Chains A and B, each alone.
Chain A
């Protein structure tokens, strides 16, 4: 799970892919996950960090993260 190097991100959740010209927006938690992914840390660490901060069951978040990752891949944001 690595964010493509050319993807521009903002802390507010705005993403821009200069190769395709596509822009995206995410919600706050989505932006936070993408920033964590940019640090190239393992998925388990992303899960732990989010679950510590947000009121969410680990299993539920893992499921949602998997789906989010699929969306990011589908939009060519992840390598």
Chain B
């Protein structure tokens, strides 16, 4: 006689009260395949936990975003935000699609060069650029986005010393009505600092002013904020044109478009609340097109979107290490991935699906990671089927920031697999081992 499928016994107290008008959320559909590739197959071949990236989804996202902007504005250029995910394979997919590179450090700059990005298609942002970084970027004809006066004066000095004429823009910060206001980067718009910096550059015969840049924040939920930012940048560009007779080549609105992840504390899921890229595109392009520039002097619109183009292309597969009941009666499930690999669980309530068909019964649980640290909580509260040791899960929308901000802490960082457009799998970063971790360590003579 075939035995019945087992499910852990449980009992819940029934509470009388008002009905929840939203009903219960159905989140328990198993995800057994990603782009037709078996989840269990990948876990068995590459181990658990495992990051998986869908090349198809990256290309879909990119082509969709480009289409949305190009159908509204004649000159659009995307630049892939390296810090969002700088796995070389990922960067090369974006570059193949036509994206430039947007980097914020010498390290990222070197990665972009390694990915065969031409120097004049690299945008160099950020407050941390050494003299060597600046010289190399200037020699490669990259776009250097100046963050502060110290950098501006360093660049003028280096240009004189090395007979260079770097292509530069300034980063502008401003009040777009959102909180927190990102005023730690760049020159302020409202107090005139940005205009003074532009004047200084325009009056220098050592710098070539090619653009104006801003990046108003991250995971922005307000298209209106982008409209304000676009208007302020247009005002500066117009001022440069009127005062110095020179039209900047581009306006760079930066990134910050959200993915459909659900922010912690949000009342409704991200899929219901996050504006579409169309709304951001409308807000930005309406302002630039309506500002009064002649058709032939319209600046190129550069976008440095990262998260919105990659988050839903990334998955984290993992396994249940153990389940237990906490002293207050709550169910706890311990996974083999935690904050160390899923850094974004600090910001999001990630959607997590079982990777196999389980019973219909669900229970609320705390989902912990494997670290021997109290803070290692993946989800403070999640309703899942009754998981048990060895069951596998799929965490959704983890493509942005996890593979760059992950920590080598207590355990190794997992491998990353790319599913290509023909559903073949490729390891794009091996799982770490002791040899890799200890490669840079040295033992002093007296401890050998």
Contact = CB atoms under 8 A, between A and B. Distances in A.
Tell me whether A and B are bound partners: yes
Contacts of A54: 3-6
Nearest to A70: B325
Contacts of B4: 53-55
A63 to B, nearest CB: 9
Given A24-B12, A25-B11, A60-B388, A55 B6 contact: yes
A72 B9 CA distance: 11
A24 B14 contact: yes
A49 to B, nearest CB: 12
Interface string B376-393: 000000000000110000
B154 interface: no
B9 A68 contact: yes
Interface size class of A (residues with CB under 8 A): 20 to 34
A27 B361 contact: yes
B189 to A, nearest CB: 60
A48 interface: no
Contacts of B179: none
Contact of A27 (B7, B14, B388, B389): B7
Contacts of B10: 26-27, 30, 68, 71
B243 interface: no
A19 to B, nearest CB: 14
Interface of A is mostly: helix
Interface residues of chain B: helix, strand, loop or mixed (majority): loop
A33 B14 CA distance: 19
A26 B14 CA distance: 10
B3 A26 contact: no
B9 A75 contact: no
A67 B389 CA distance: 15
A3 to B, nearest CB: 12
Contact of B13 (A22, A28, A33): A22
List 3 A-B pairs, minimum CB-CB distance, nearest first.
A56-B6, A30-B9, A55-B3
25 contacts: A15-B11, A22-B14, A23-B13, A24-B13, A25-B14, A30-B10, A33-B9, A53-B3, A54-B3, A54-B4, A54-B5, A54-B6, A55-B4, A60-B388, A60-B389, A64-B8, A67-B325, A68-B9, A71-B10, A71-B11, A71-B325, A72-B11, A74-B329, A75-B11, A77-B11
Interface of A: 15, 22-30, 33, 52-56, 60-61, 64-65, 67-68, 70-72, 74-75, 77
Given A24-B12, A29-B8, A64-B9, 18 more contacts: A23-B14, A24-B11, A25-B11, A25-B12, A26-B10, A26-B12, A27-B7, A27-B361, A29-B9, A30-B11, A55-B3, A61-B6, A67-B325, A68-B9, A70-B325, A71-B329, A72-B11, A75-B13
